[in-house]
Amino acid sequence: MPRLRPLARAMLSVCACVVAGWVAASDRAQGSAARANPAATASPAAATRPAAQSEPWWRHAVIYEIYPRSFQDSNGDGVGDLNGIAQRLDYLESLGVDAIWIAPFYPSPQVDFGYDISDYRAVDPQYGTLADFDRLVAAAGRHHIRVLLDMVLNHTSDQHPWFREAARSRDSPRHDFYVWNDGRSDAAGKHLPPNNWVSLFGGSAWEFVPAVGQFYYHMFYRQQPDLNWRNPKVEEAMFAAMRFWLDIGVAGFRLDAITTLFEDEKLRDEPALGGVNAQGDPRLSDVYTNNLPEVHGVIRRLRAMSDTYAGERVLIGETYVPNTADLDPWYGGALHNELQLPMDTLVGLGSKLDAGTFRQRLIELQTQVHDSPPLLVFDNHDNIRSWDRYGDGVHNAAIARIVATLLLTSGGAALLYQGEEIGQTTATPTRIEDVRDPIGITGWPREKGRDGERTPMQWDASSAQAGFSTNPRTWLPVTANYRSINVQSESADPDSLLNWHRRLIALRQSNAALRSGWTVMLDSTNSSVLSYARVGAEGETIVVALNMSAQPQTISLGLGASGVAGSRLTTLLASPAPIAGGAADRAITLAPFAAWVASLR
């Protein structure tokens, strides 16, 4: 049964109200006009909209997320590492990705598997050395692949020297690097937190430190104290850390938890929403801890700094927002002066593959974000894989091709998470004693943690470690289906999901309409089939049709009515069965969960 992880639901639940509060009135008007007229993109004028002449690489990039613990182990310790990534660059080049985003590999106590950083300018020995990283960046360049880092600005590890110093004395120069409060006391003199804020990972968001007689705030684990972004020295120090990596040559950053940098200065209680969450805490709004307007000043300054570097560096944001229009401010609206690519994490659309929902989303992305490119994301290391979210247990392989086709043909940039391209499955632990992710231990059995989507990459069937490691004790077990689901066997099978991804990426690279064309919805009242045309600047056109139902569907594209010119279709890609090209105005029958990509002349 596909399910949405409770953590992701929590991140998505409550942010809309704050964003709506400060989006400029003109932006709101534009968003609501587009919502009122969803056919806006189907006009002939829209169909001939020219694409920009010279566009930065990230606008249409395929970015591949690497969770380094689980990608490739080069030294047999059961944990992936940087040299392991270097060993797999041929594979990544053959897939056709433009960039890799590597989840944190900095020194860390690994409470949150690297998202608790204790040194922002080094490599954790279990992943390698700075020299290994330099070699990786150089080798990736030779494979035409850029390297993006994960930058955690919201919090550090409690073992970071700044926090250790901050927690020693109120007079420490670093004390104000973090968010402290005296709290309250009850009649018996017991220290109580200043308000009702709960950590996203469970329990109070406040932790008392006897040495200073104060509480510090932590949005995530108590070992991840939040930085105090109201202190200009924090910005200075974190920007300096980012410069360190930009100077080495990274192509940019994925900014972790970027929406939560600021908290309400008055520390007001969050309004209760009723009920409890997966960790057993009261469900609260996040109006005072997420999406505070002050964050945008930081991002604008960060963008200005990043833009001083040559080579089109990019800022990507972890931006779980409830509505498409809520992404607009993260781009900087009409000014385009904040993040280049706030993530459109489609996990928020739930687990139903629904043509109407995706059609609406694509229209919104084209009309509500001031022509900024979307970065579509189906999978990452925090959420149940799309294979399991959308799969019905019968047609999963066909459904995965639909997801890939939507991701790679609908315009903008695309994010692939390691293993998504071969159909790796979510292997959620079945016993609490096997769980490694702390939220899976504290939340068991309602929240089983994120281990399921972090299992090792399945490279081949040569050993029980699937080519990931030579060590029989890998940090998370290799999923048993590695014998059939692995890179090597799928490379050899022309009909595999891996080769489907390869063909889609190659097509996108060679076809200007797919890469940077304008999207025109076709047959737009069809509730089972999502069809659209991608129209390039010279009028060259690609048609995509995705049957999101378990029944065969006969469709009529209605190209003329949508203002798309062309009379003959030639099939470029079809799954599961071949689909004949021919006259564009004829009825076309699509098998259950068919994906079809055709060129139109």
Which residues are known catalytic residues?
Answer: 256, 318
Angle between helices 232-248 and 295-307 (to 10 degrees): 30
Measured distance CA(74)–CA(451) in Å, rounded: 21
Q: Does 257 bind ligand NOJ (CB under 6 A)?
A: yes
Rounded least distance, CB 488 to ligand NOJ, Å:
29
- Tokens for 497? 């999901």
Q: Pick the closest to residue 23 from 369, 375, 261 (CA basis).
A: 369
Binding mask 297-326 for ligand NOJ (x = CB under 6 A): ---------------------x--------
Q: Does 101 bind ligand NOJ (CB under 6 A)?
A: no
Burial (CB count within 10 angstroms: exposed 0-12, middle 13-18, buried 19+), residue 236: exposed
Rounded least distance, CB 561 to ligand NOJ, Å:
43
Judge contact between 348 and 319, C-beta under 8 A: no
Out of 217, 220, 390, 459, point to the residue binding ligand NOJ (CB under 6 A): 220
E strands, 48-115, are: 62-66, 99-102
Identify which of residues 31 and 225 has a Cβ nearer to ligand NOJ in the complex.
225
Identify which of residues 110 and 474 has a Cβ nearer to ligand NOJ in the complex.
110
Out of 86, 152, 314, 377, point to the residue binding ligand NOJ (CB under 6 A): 152
Rounded least distance, CB 429 to ligand NOJ, Å:
17
Q: Does 229 bind ligand NOJ (CB under 6 A)?
A: no
Q: SS3 of 178, please?
A: strand
Q: Phi first, then psi: what are they for 24, rounded to 5°?
A: -55, 150
Judge contact between 526 and 427, C-beta under 8 A: no
Q: Which residue is nearest to ligand NOJ (CB)?
A: 115
Measured distance CA(100)–CA(187) in Å, rounded: 55
Identify which of residues 149 and 212 has a Cβ nearer to ligand NOJ in the complex.
149
Identify which of residues 373 and 438 has a Cβ nearer to ligand NOJ in the complex.
438
Binding residues for ligand NOJ restricted to 346-375, rule: CB under 6 A: none
Out of 27, 112, 364, 447, point to the residue binding ligand NOJ (CB under 6 A): 112
Identify which of residues 316 and 402 has a Cβ nearer to ligand NOJ in the complex.
316
Q: Are strands 588-590 and 529-535 parallel, antiparallel or unpaired?
A: unpaired
Rounded least distance, CB 15 to ligand NOJ, Å:
15
Burial (CB count within 10 angstroms: exposed 0-12, middle 13-18, buried 19+), residue 499: middle
Which DSSP string do the residues of 139-172 spell out, in sequence order?
HHHHTT-EEEEEEE-SB--TTSHHHHHHTT-TTS
The angle formed by the CA atoms of residues 288, 289 and 294, to the nearest 5 degrees, is: 85
DSSP 179: -
Measured distance CA(2)–CA(391) in Å, rounded: 7
Identify which of residues 388 and 437 has a Cβ nearer to ligand NOJ in the complex.
437
Rounded least distance, CB 318 to ligand NOJ, Å:
6
Out of 256, 326, 379, 388, point to the residue binding ligand NOJ (CB under 6 A): 256
Judge contact between 252 and 58, C-beta under 8 A: yes
Out of 58, 64, 67, 115, point to the residue binding ligand NOJ (CB under 6 A): 115
Which DSSP string do the residues of 409-475 spell out, in sequence order?
HSSSEEEEETTGGGTPPP---SSGGG--SHHHHHSTTT---SGGG-SPP---SSSTTTTS-S-SS-S
Identify which of residues 230 and 381 has a Cβ nearer to ligand NOJ in the complex.
381
Angstrom CA distances, 288 to 17, 215, 277, stand at 11, 18, 18
Measured distance CA(295)–CA(283) in Å, rounded: 24
- Tokens for 560? 């003329």
Rounded least distance, CB 113 to ligand NOJ, Å:
7
Identify which of residues 344 and 382 has a Cβ nearer to ligand NOJ in the complex.
382
Rounded least distance, CB 216 to ligand NOJ, Å:
16
Measured distance CA(599)–CA(568) in Å, rounded: 8
Measured distance CA(296)–CA(24) in Å, rounded: 13
- Tokens for 539? 């009028």
Judge contact between 413 and 516, C-beta under 8 A: no
Identify which of residues 295 and 543 has a Cβ nearer to ligand NOJ in the complex.
295
- How many chain residues touch ligand NOJ (CB under 6 A)? 9
Q: Are strands 282-284 and 272-276 parallel, antiparallel or unpaired?
A: antiparallel
Identify which of residues 198 and 402 has a Cβ nearer to ligand NOJ in the complex.
198
Q: Phi first, then psi: what are they for 429, rounded to 5°?
A: -55, 145
Identify which of residues 364 and 382 has a Cβ nearer to ligand NOJ in the complex.
382
Binding residues for ligand NOJ restricted to 374-433, rule: CB under 6 A: 381-382
Angle between helices 130-142 and 232-248 (to 10 degrees): 60
- Rule CB under 6 A: which residues touch ligand NOJ? 112, 115, 152, 220, 256-257, 318, 381-382
